[in-house]
Amino acid sequence: MTNPWLSIPLGDYEGHMSLPNVRQLRPLSELFKRTVEHVRPKSVAVLGVAGGNGLEHLADAGVLRIVAIDINMEYLETTRYRFRKFAGLELHCVDLTVDRISLKPVDLVHAALIFEHAGTEKALDNAVSLVGRNGRLSVVLQIPSAEQVPAALSTYASMQALRDHFTFVDRDLLEASLEDRGFIRETEQTLRLPGNKAFWYGVFARAHSTSQ
């Protein structure tokens, strides 16, 4: 079965995420900025980078290497164009649910609203494999809400392809799974959004690194 993200134009995705009853692009960008300020990494990997929302915060952050990963090559090409002044930008077209990532690890791996679409098995293994010895993994999950606007009800028809491709992730189970992989939570926050929606945000460190 073809992944629905391959058929959704970037403009439709960004348009949906900017709708008055969604408004998630800016909060996601701000959470990424907060993560970078907290970790102060020299190298960053962004899973599901799409069009590069938030990468602008890396311009003056001292980051030397930016690994942009997405399943849609057209998204990556847009990211390349938008951030063409970033000398350390790498683009990797990867299906996190199928492919096995084999890249040099980074100081920070950022996964925002990824596991809802990619699951927490192969995709989580890939995320963890990218985290350097003293690195961090930051995760943003969407918290279920009775007032959530499903992608299927978006004014952007192409977003209906995600109708059966989104599953909420239990943050307690995710944390337990990360503990099994040798990670502990360093910080967490719940961010309220318009329409009584919310994000949960957590930063995880390899257990050994917290004692150094």
Task: Read off the tokens for 150.
Answer: 């499903």
**Mean pLDDT score, 54-76:** 96
Report whether pLDDT(143) > 80: yes
pLDDT at 210 over 80: no
pLDDT at res. 169: 96
pLDDT, residue 147, reads 55
How far, in Å, CA of 36 to CA of 58, rounded? 8
Amino acid sitting at position 41: P
pLDDT at 65 over 90: yes
- pLDDT for 182: 95
- The answer, yes or no, to whether residue 110 has pLDDT greater than 80, is yes
Q: Report pLDDT for 152.
A: 47
Look at 46-55, 142-151, 167-176, 196-205 and tell me which has the smallest mean pLDDT: 142-151
Is 97's pLDDT higher than 50?
A: yes
CATH for 4-211, among 1.20.1440.130, 1.10.10.10, 3.40.50.150, 3.30.420.10? 3.40.50.150
> pLDDT value at position 144?
84
CA pair distance 149, 22, nearest whole angstrom: 7
The two structure tokens encoding residue 170: 């239990």
What pLDDT is stored for residue 211 in this prediction?
Answer: 45
Give residue 148's pLDDT.
Answer: 53
